[in-house]
Amino acid sequence: MSRSVPAFVIAVAAIWVAAFAASSAQQLGPGERSVWDGVYTAAQASRGKPRFEAGCGRCHNNELAGSTRGPALKGNQFWSHFQSQTLADLFVYMRDRMPRDSGGSVSDDQKVDILAYVLSVSGMPPGNNELTLDLRAMESIKVAKKTTLDGVFTAAQAERGKSQFVSGRCAECHRPDLSGERGPTLTGDAFLAHWENGSVHSLFDKIRETMPATGPSEVTDEAKADIVAYLLQSNGFPAGKTELRAETETLGVIDIVRKGQRTTIPNFSLVQVVGCLTQDANSSWVLSNTSEPAFTTDEEPTAAALKAAQGAPLGTQTFQLLSVDAFKPSGHKGQRMEARGLLYRDTNHARLNLTSLQTLEASCQARH
C-alpha cells in the first residue's frame, strides 16, 4: 500500500523545513561520535574532490549547490535531508543510488573519498584516521549540526567582542550589562526565547545588516562575529578552541540551543513511524500508540526496512493521517502498520501526510 508524493510536495517541504526547522542538540549515546569529531582525513577529502567533480558535479554542481538534476549537498537542503541520521545512512544512499545513470562506474572506495569531500565542504573538520568501508563504524557517527553547546568561539574572541560592544555604539542602546534600554535585552530568557532553535547565522545577520541602526557599515563583519561570541558567552554558552568566523557556510550550521534541550524533528520532515491503525471519535483515520518519528530519506520502505520495523517498540503518540484514502485503510483497521510521510506537529495537532502505509502484523498490541 504505497504511492509516490509529487516532487513539488517534497520541494515545498524542503523550503518550509529551511524556514521553520527547529533543530536542537544532537544527543550522543555511549560510543557515538558526530561528523564534527574528525572522521576523515584531509588527504582523503583531497582525493574525493576530483572524483566528485568528475562523476557528481554535473548533477549536484561542482560547488555542491545543486541543480535541476540533483539536490544541494550542503546548506539547508543537505541538513533537512540527513540531519539526525548516521553517516552509514548517508553513505548507503550514495552507494546504492549514485550516480543514477551509471551505477557501477564509481567504486565504493571512491565513494568513501567523495563522502569525505562532501563533509569537508560543509566545514566538518578532518581528523587523523581515514573514513573506511565499515558500516558498523559509520552507524556510530551521527550527522548532526553543531550547537552553541559545542564551544563555537574562543574566550579571546569573546573578550574582543566585549571590548567592541562596550566601547562602541552597542552599549548606548543595549546598556553595558546587556540589560537593554532603547534596544532589547541581549541576555537571559528574553534573548534566548527570541533566538533559540535558529542558527547563529540568523543572529549574526541581524547584527550585520541592522546594527548600529544608523550605520551598519561602521563595524566590520569580523568585529561583529566577535560581538556574537561575546553575546553567546554572556548567555552561558561555553568557549572552545576555534573562533567563530563571519561566513554563512560556517554560521549556518550552528544552532542556538539551550542546555538540556531535547532533540526534535522539524515539521515537514519526511519521517517513519510504527503504530496501530484505527479511527478516532470523529471517524478520522489515525495511527495510535506510535513510535517516536524517525528521519528517513525514502518515501517507501525497502523489504529490509519493513523487517526491521517489525521489531520496533510502540509508543504513546497518536497521529492523524492525511491523504489516507489512497491506501484503502478500512481493510487494515486494527493492524500494526509502518507509515511514512511529512510530519506536522504543534500544541494542538499531530499529523502525518502519508507517502506509504504498510502492514507489519495483522493485529496490533501496544508494546512499551
pLDDT digits (tens, 9 = 90+) for 42-95: 999 999 999 999 989 999 999 999 998 888 898 877 887 787 789 999 999 889
pTM score, two decimals?
A: 0.59
* CB of 341 closer than 8 Å to CB of 286: no
Domain termination site, one of 144, 175, 205? 144
Closest CA to 33 of 76, 79, 82, 88: 88
Asked if residue 126 and residue 167 are part of one domain, the reply reads no
Pairing relationship of beta strands 317-322 and 285-290 according to DSSP bridges: antiparallel
Give 122-179 pLDDT, tens digit per residue: 888 899 999 999 999 999 999 988 889 989 999 999 999 999 999 989 999 999 999 9
Compute the mean pLDDT over every residue in the chain, rounded to the nearest whole number. Answer: 85
Asked if residue 37 and residue 125 are part of one domain, the reply reads yes
**Is 349 contained in some domain?**
yes
**Is 23 contained in some domain?**
no
pLDDT at 4: 45
| Residue 253 reports pLDDT greater than 60 | yes
**Is 21 contained in some domain?**
no
Tell me which residue range forms the domain holding 316: 270-361
Asked if residue 134 and residue 36 are part of one domain, the reply reads yes
Asked if residue 55 and residue 132 are part of one domain, the reply reads yes
Asked if residue 177 and residue 125 are part of one domain, the reply reads no
Residue 341 maps to which CATH number?
2.40.50
Q: How is 307-336 classified by DSSP, letter by letter?
A: HHHTT----SEEEEEES-GGG-GGGGTT-E
**Is 159 contained in some domain?**
yes
* CB of 297 closer than 8 Å to CB of 89: yes
Asked if residue 136 and residue 70 are part of one domain, the reply reads yes
Asked if residue 229 and residue 166 are part of one domain, the reply reads yes
Give Cα separations from 274 to 52, 268, 366 (angstroms). 37, 18, 11
Domain termination site, one of 144, 171, 197? 144
**Is 226 contained in some domain?**
yes
Domain termination site, one of 255, 283, 309? 255
Number of domains in the chain: 3
Percent of the chain with pLDDT over 70: 88
Asked if residue 160 and residue 193 are part of one domain, the reply reads yes
**Is 128 contained in some domain?**
yes
Residue 180 maps to which CATH number?
1.10.760.10
Give 290-315 pLDDT, tens digit per residue: 987 887 778 898 887 888 788 777 88
**DSSP single-letter state for residue 241:** S
Asked if residue 315 and residue 246 are part of one domain, the reply reads no
Query: What would the mean pLDDT of 205-214 be, rounded to a whole number?
Result: 91
Band of residue 104 on the pLDDT scale cut at 50, 70, 90: low
**Is 291 contained in some domain?**
yes
Asked if residue 162 and residue 217 are part of one domain, the reply reads yes
Asked if residue 72 and residue 36 are part of one domain, the reply reads yes
**DSSP single-letter state for residue 261:** P
| Residue 336 reports pLDDT greater than 70 | yes
pLDDT at 17: 40
